[in-house]
Amino acid sequence: MRKKVIAGNWKMNKSLNESQELVSKIINGLGNDTKCDVIVCPPFTSLSEVHSLIKNTPVKMGAQNMYHEESGAYTGEISADMLISVGCEYVILGHSERRAIFNESNKSINNKIKAALNKKLIVIFCVGELLEQREKGITTDVVSEQITKGLDGISSENMSKVIIAYEPVWAIGTGKTATPQQAQDVHSFIRELIAKIFSSVVADNLIIQYGGSVKPDNASELLTQKDIDGALVGGACLKADSFLGIIASA
Ligand code: PGA
């Protein structure tokens, strides 16, 4: 049985004070008995302080991005070691906003995934099609290319440290969620693809999250689909109540 994993991607939101306030409310609302894994991904500037608040709680922390090089003259970038030094166990890579706004390619995402896994970070690897690609009927081609190129050179052993987040780009921040069936179809396609690239054991153990306008009122119908093992939540994770509502559905 795969455990459900709910992650909150705070994106470029929350000052240090606001971050402390939000994570404190999440911790208080959760208690100690969570049946799913809960991950918060605050902005870089809040990681260290959020980490001191989540110590001895079930909440884990991730970053929203990193650079693949170890150190050096890369102004504005953050390395895997830096993330680990402030308490990150996870890192989101390949988010569609990184791909679209910051021109990240499958190749650069692959470099980042390799670097993160080398340092034993758990990677939340995002894939998903644009609306025009879905309308053209090429969703699985797009997702397949993103996964094949993004995971190129990754070993089966390292796949235990990879979570795939399927996020149809047209559903991110738009209020339009994929129907449970649309999401399930792509999730099951992804699991079959992973079985072909790696093995059925890797595929069976792989956590595949859905992301794109997940809210407390649509979470349970998504999360009860056979191949949906959790959610990557954007907008709805910025308020403790709605994030806790999604966790409760899981
Ligand atoms: P959303 O974002 O929940 O606001 O649609 C999801 C994401 O971008 O990870």
Query: Whose C-alpha lies nearest to ligand 1, atom 7?
Result: 234
- Quick one: angle between helices 216-223 and 180-197, nearest 10? 50
Q: What is the mean pLDDT of residues 189-200?
A: 98
The total number of structural domains in the chain stands at 1
- Say yes or no to pLDDT of 176 above 90: no
How remote is the CA of residue 237 from the centroid of ligand 1, in Å? Answer: 9
Handedness of CA 16, 22, 25, 30 (dihedral sign): negative
Token pair recorded at residue 73: 């003259």
CB 187, CB 180: distance < 8 Å: no
Q: Write down the pLDDT at residue 31.
A: 81
Q: Which ligand 1 atom is the nearest neighbour of the CA of 212?
A: 5
- Report which ligand 1 atom has the smallest distance to the Cα of 126: 9
Helices marked H in 31-179 — which ranges?
47-54, 80-85, 96-101, 106-118, 131-135, 139-150
Q: Which residue, by CA, sits nearest to atom 3 of ligand 1? A: 234
Known catalytic residue at 69: no
Amino acid at 129: E
pLDDT at 175: 82
Taking the C-alpha atoms of residue 42 and residue 9, their distance in angstroms, rounded to an integer, is 7
User: Could you tell me the two tokens for 47?
Assistant: 């990681």
Q: Considering only CA atoms, which residue is closest to atom 6 of ligand 1?
A: 234
Alpha carbon 199 to its chain centroid, in Å, reads 22
Query: The pTM is what?
Result: 0.97
Nearest CA to ligand 1 atom 1: 234
What is the residue type of 197? I
Q: d(Cα 66, Cα 99) in Å, to the nearest integer?
A: 13
| 173 C-alpha to ligand 1 centroid (Å) | 5
Which residues does ligand 1 sit against, CB inside 6 Å?
9, 167, 172-173, 211-214, 232-236
In angstroms, what is the span from residue 72 Cα to ligand 1's centroid? Answer: 32
Angstrom distances, CA of residue 142 to CA of 107, 133, 138: 14, 8, 6
When pLDDT is cut at 50, 70 and 90, the band that residue 35 belongs to is confident
Q: Which of 216, 134, 140 is nearest to 171 (CA)?
A: 134
pLDDT averaged over the chain? 97
How far, in Å, from the CA of 109 to the mean position of ligand 1?
Answer: 19
At residue 107, φ and ψ (nearest 5 deg) are -70, -45
Nearest CA owner, ligand 1 atom 2: 234
Q: What pLDDT shows up at residue 52?
A: 98
Ligand 1 mean position to 59 CA, how many Å?
19
Mean pLDDT, to the nearest integer, of 186-196?
98
Annotated active-site residue in 95, 104, 129, 187:
95
pLDDT value at position 134? Answer: 95
Three-state SS string over 74-116 comes to: CCCCCCHHHHHHCCCCEEEECCHHHHHHCCCCHHHHHHHHHHH
What integer pLDDT is reported at residue 53 of this predicted model? Answer: 98
Mean pLDDT of 84-101: 98
Determine which one of 97, 104, 129, 167 is catalytic.
167
Neighbouring-strand partners of residue 207: 163
Which CATH number does the domain housing residue 116 bear? 3.20.20.70
| Ligand 1 mutation pick, 10, 172, 217, 237, max ligand atoms within 8 A of CB | 172
213-234 pLDDT, tens digit each: 999 999 999 999 999 999 999 9
Known catalytic residue: 97? no
Residues sharing a CB contact under 8 Å with residue 131, sequence separation 6 or more, in sequence order = 169, 170
Domain span holding position 79: 5-249
